[in-house]
Amino acid sequence: MKKIIENTLKKVIEENSKKSATSYRIPLLGYAKAEDPLFQQLTTAGVPNHLLPTDLLPGARTVAAFFLPFTGELVKRNRQDPYVARSWAQAYIDTNGLINRCCQEIAAALDGYGVKTAWQQPTHNFDSENLRARWSHKHVAYICGLGKFGLHHMLITPSGCAGRFGSLVIDYPLPPTPRKEIEPCLFFREGKCQQCAKNCPSGALTPEGLDDRKCYDYLLEVDSFYSDLGFCDACGKCATCGPCAVIG
């Protein structure tokens, strides 16, 4: 079943590469048991109202998360642009569509084997007051063994942090992916770096923490600036300016 998921993901990305301006490196996949206690902990620690896998799909057995890593070229463009690069904003929109297609096609492939799935949209599923997602793909990806959080509050995977996550709940048991032991963030490991905070244009990110509201207000400014593209509340300076942006 894992092979079907992996092959479907690769196929969708390959098809997408023929028609999209946004390219990706090789996707990553990770799995967790639906009854992993960390899902329950999410609802009580830090992410209030977070859904459980069984809220999305009664009979849920497994959660699968995937990471679509952006290319080094796109990362460089956003890093070098004095503002948020137009191509970065476009990539955000393109990838929202792609994540939906990945989920739809994986669901269709698994349905052929009688396996049910459920998923949440890639973004904009958060509470407008506290800005907390009801299904946080990056937290889910952490539980699925895809990486560890850095100072910038994003997940640093073995391929870096510049990319996007999607996830699905499945009613079929699959072996979980072991969670990472190694600390990938230089600040957490050695007290060094802080490139993400130093390059945050809004001042929302500091070594002391992330001001979600300040960050999101800035993302909305970017959306207004690129209003011709569609809804692009994106910035990604913290995801592109440090050594953790692209790995491997």
Nearest by Cα to 51 from 139, 157, 165: 139
Ramachandran assignment for 46, one of left (phi > 0), alpha (psi -120 to 50 degrees), beta (any other): left
Nearer to ligand SF4, 12 or 238 (CB): 238
**In the complex, what is the shortest distance from the CB of residue 157 to ligand SF4, in angstroms, rounded to a whole number?**
12
Tokens of 134: 């009801």
CB of 246 to ligand SF4, least distance (A): 11
210-to-133, 149, 152 alpha-carbon distances in Å: 16, 13, 8
Q: Residue numbers of the site for ligand SF4 (CB under 6 A)?
A: 150-152, 185-187, 193-196, 200-202, 204-205, 210, 215, 218, 235-238, 242-244
Nearer to ligand SF4, 144 or 155 (CB): 155
Between 103 and 215, CB nearer to ligand SF4: 215
Query: For ligand SF4, which residue has the nearest CB?
Result: 242
Torsion over CA of 26, 53, 136 and 85, rounded to 10 degrees?
30
DSSP 3-state assignment of 215? helix
State which residue, 20 or 202, has the beta carbon closest to ligand SF4.
202
Closest CB 185 distance from ligand SF4, rounded Å: 3
- Residue 51 CB, shortest distance to ligand SF4, in Å, is 24
Q: Which is nearer to ligand SF4, 110 or 156 (CB)?
A: 156
CB of 149 to ligand SF4, least distance (A): 8
Give the three-class secondary structure for 45.
coil
Q: Of 151, 147, 125, which is closest to residue 136 (Cα–Cα)?
A: 125
